[in-house]
Amino acid sequence: MLRPICAVAVLATACLTSPAKAETTLCTEITTLPTTINVQGTYCMKGDLSTSLAAGSAITVAANNVTIDCNGRKLGGLGAGVTTRASGIQATNRSNITVRGCNIRGFYRGIVLEGTGSGHVVEHNALDGITYLGMRVHGAGATIRGNRIVNVGGTDDTNGTYGGILLNGSGGRIVDNDISGLSTTGPSSLRGILATGPRNVIESNRLSDLVAPNAGQVKAIMLLGSPDTELPMQAVLRENSVLVPPGTQGYAVWVKTASSVCRNNDLLGFDGSWLEAQASSALDACGDAGGNVTK
């Protein structure tokens, strides 16, 4: 159920320090789960909401140009347990969707903006206890920034846990995210960040404690070409930190196609080379532009 509410104008005294982000109040309030948004606009949460939904989505976005601001409130899905296949927030074939300030707990996938569309922004969310994939964002020009993704894993899916952030599109930005405590018991690789498509920037992200104890490998940051071609990606990886337990099997950076640049990354704990290049050579795949620290 969606309930319109109005903003109250408040006069504040000026001060020398920067003010904290104001709560979004000029919005349509989300009051029950599951709910579907059919009209463009700004939507918000004013209190914690939870559901035991085992499939589908707690919040479905069925319109373009929608902003969801949870104001730091909890969107809970822990009640469905490890068998859940539900998503927290989902939009399919939509454009210009913004999701911010959400404290999402439980669910199979936390935030899913998939299919055709572009211009999505996913920022300043906290995802905890997601069982399969933190967030999946499709489309050109997406921005994924300032999110905290912790304790992903535990699904009963036989393939195991997928990972933290998946971006499928060109010209995107994955910036200043914290990803930690990802684990899988399945045979597939565990991915911290996977970016598919050309001209993406992966910058100033911090990944730690990624664990794949069985047949799978940890691929902390993966770069793939377009799903339809093998054109050069021209991606940039800079100032990222990857810290895993010593002797971890896998790669800090795994690159499929050529012409990307790696600079000033701290990549610690992997057993073997920090870079796995599927292109003609490691240098062509992700040029070491200096400042990369590996141990």
154's CB contacts (< 8 A; 6+ apart) are: 82, 129, 131, 161, 183
Please check whether residue 156 is in contact with residue 82, taking contact to mean a CB–CB distance below 8 angstroms: yes
Please give the share of the chain, as a percent, with pLDDT higher than 70: 86
The pLDDT value recorded for residue 226 is 61
Domains defined for the chain, CATH in brackets = 69-294 (2.160.20)
Among 24-33, 163-172, 253-262, the range scoring the smallest mean pLDDT is: 253-262
Q: What is the pLDDT of residues 94-152, one digit of tens each?
A: 999 999 999 999 999 999 999 999 999 999 999 999 999 999 999 999 999 999 999 99
Task: Place 234 in a pLDDT band, splitting at 50, 70 and 90.
Answer: confident
Q: Is the pLDDT of residue 74 over 60?
A: yes
Look at residue 5 and tell me whether its pLDDT is greater than 80.
no
Summarize the confidence of residues 67-82 as an average pLDDT.
Answer: 96
SS3 172: coil
Indicate the helix (H) or strand (E) that contains 283: helix 282-285
Would the pLDDT of 44 be above 70?
A: yes
Q: Which pLDDT score, from 0 to 100, does residue 257 have?
A: 66
Q: Is a pLDDT exceeding 50 seen at residue 13?
A: no
Could you tell me the pTM of the whole model? Answer: 0.88
